[in-house]
Amino acid sequence: DAEITQSPRHKITETGRQVTLACHQTWNHNNMFWYRQDLGHGLRLIHYSYGVQDTNKGEVSDGYSVSRSNTEDLPLTLESAASSQTSVYFCASSDRNPGLRAGELFFGEGSRLTVL
């Protein structure tokens, strides 16, 4: 079955370190998204991509970067981790063509990141 997987599922790191969260989907979806989930804020969009070599900033992109070198993967990098980036991170994908009415997102199981 096609799926979307995130790794690691749990990570503890120190302030200032670089961290990369992996996201891999086997649906061949063009669209991929990274959200963070925090109490009182729900899910907020960090970065998104509509295809290979395409990346865009979301609502809370400061301190994060992504790259899209193939269809299957959208890794999220925290260049210098901060305590404010302690959160649960969700990757999602969809096959809706940009510009058409919004469709269904398929989510990974999340990556819990703690920055000490």
Residue 1 binding another protein, by CB under 8 A: no
Q: What is the enclosing helix (H) or strand (E) of 89?
A: strand 87-94
Q: Per CB under 8 A, which of residues 80..99 are in contact with another protein?
A: 90, 92, 94, 96, 98-99
User: Residue 113 Cβ, how far from another protein at the closest point, in Å?
Assistant: 15
Of 98, 94, 47, 95, which Cα lies nearest the Cα of 74? 47
Looking at 58, 61, 63, 114, which residue binds another protein (CB under 8 A)? 58
Amino acid identity, position 111: S
Q: What is the enclosing helix (H) or strand (E) of 87?
A: strand 87-94
Specify the length of the chain in residues: 116
Looking at 41, 51, 54, 80, which residue binds another protein (CB under 8 A)? 41
User: Residue 60 Cβ, how far from another protein at the closest point, in Å?
Assistant: 12
User: Residue 80 Cβ, how far from another protein at the closest point, in Å?
Assistant: 26
Looking at 46, 78, 110, 115, which residue binds another protein (CB under 8 A)? 110
| Contact between 75 and 23 (Cβ < 8 Å) | yes
